[in-house]
Amino acid sequence: MKRLLVHAAALCVLDAPVVLAGDFNVVPTNADIYPTKSYMDNALVQPEPRALFNQLLDQGWIDSIRALHLNKPMYTFWDYMRNRWQRDAGLRLDHLLLNPRAANRLVKSGVDREVRGLDNASDHVPAWIVLCDAPVASQKSVRNAAKRPPKKSARAAPCVASDSARPLLVIDGDSFAHRSYHALPKTILLRGRKPAGAILGFANLLTAPLSGGAAAGCSGRVGHSGSSYPSPRGISRLSEWARI
């Protein structure tokens, strides 16, 4: 996390929309975990990782889920042990942090919690945001809602580039291929009716924007460590490819 802070500081002040997304393995506050003492000694809730996460917010990053859902738990993780899904004993571990340029484009944010109730589901569910192509005049309130104004020394530089420039999606793929396994429906099968794995999911992410000229308007869901949940069209295309 300390190395991430250094990298994030440079990204936050870029003259472009940036989203810092993934499974941070940090529960930011007690409002992001169900009432319990069972996690008291767990690293997810310790003061040090929480303080480091708050340092990200101090740089100027906006917690997009919390900014638009101030009073809801918005859990993204339910362990399979002790019937935690059935008891709604969840935690919020997956975060989409926006730099000021991206926060000005925020329209919606949410969590697809119903996915956790599916058969063979991951213990994480997709967290998502909707960003518009150009800044929204009323979105100053979104940044204020996060209740963590950036420190003067770390505040983003004024934006001078044209707002007509399209956002650039950057993926840190160190563990993405492995984690994308969680994003694949169990119905996608290879020859021999074996479940498809991470490589196929990663290939879908790379090829989906190229098919049909959709590069300028792609959408998706971010789940465990930034996994991208394929669109129905992508699932159909991959199902045909997998049977070849």
> Virtual CA dihedral for 49, 66, 64, 24, nearest 10 degrees?
20
Residues 81, 16: Cα–Cα separation, whole Å: 42
Give which of 213, 210, 200 is closest to 241, Cα–Cα: 200
Check pLDDT > 90 for residue 26. yes
Read off the pLDDT of each residue in 174-191 and give the average, rounded to a whole number: 56
pLDDT at residue 74, rounded to an integer: 97
Q: Are residues 55 and 112 in the same domain?
A: yes
Read off the pLDDT of each residue in 147-157 and give the average, rounded to a whole number: 44
Who wins on pLDDT, 83 or 215?
83
Residues 75, 94: Cα–Cα separation, whole Å: 9
For the chain, the average pLDDT equals: 75
Q: Are residues 131 and 198 in the same domain?
A: no
Three state DSSP letters for 82-123: HHCCCCCCCECCEEEEECHHHHCCEEEEEECHHHHHCCCCCC
pLDDT digits (tens, 9 = 90+) for 123-143: 999 999 999 988 876 655 565
Who wins on pLDDT, 165 or 194?
194
Read off the pLDDT of each residue in 22-36 and give the average, rounded to a whole number: 96
For residue 233, give Cα distances in angstroms to 4, 64, 80, 229. Answer: 35, 28, 30, 11
Read off the pLDDT of each residue in 4-27 and give the average, rounded to a whole number: 94
Q: Are residues 29 and 133 in the same domain?
A: yes
Q: Are 230 and 188 in contact (CB under 8 A)?
A: no
Biggest alpha carbon distance in the chain?
59
Band of residue 187 on the pLDDT scale cut at 50, 70, 90: low
pLDDT digits (tens, 9 = 90+) for 31-58: 999 999 999 999 999 999 999 999 999 9
Q: At what angle do helices 2-12 and 47-59 cross, to 10 degrees?
A: 10
Read off the pLDDT of each residue in 86-109 and give the average, rounded to a whole number: 96
Q: Are residues 179 and 146 in the same domain?
A: no
Check pLDDT > 70 for residue 239. no
pLDDT at residue 194, rounded to an integer: 73
In single-letter form, the type of residue at position 175 comes to: S
Q: Are 19 and 106 in contact (CB under 8 A)?
A: no
Range of the domain at 203: 171-244
Last residue of a domain, one of 102, 133, 165: 165
Q: Are residues 206 and 227 in the same domain?
A: yes
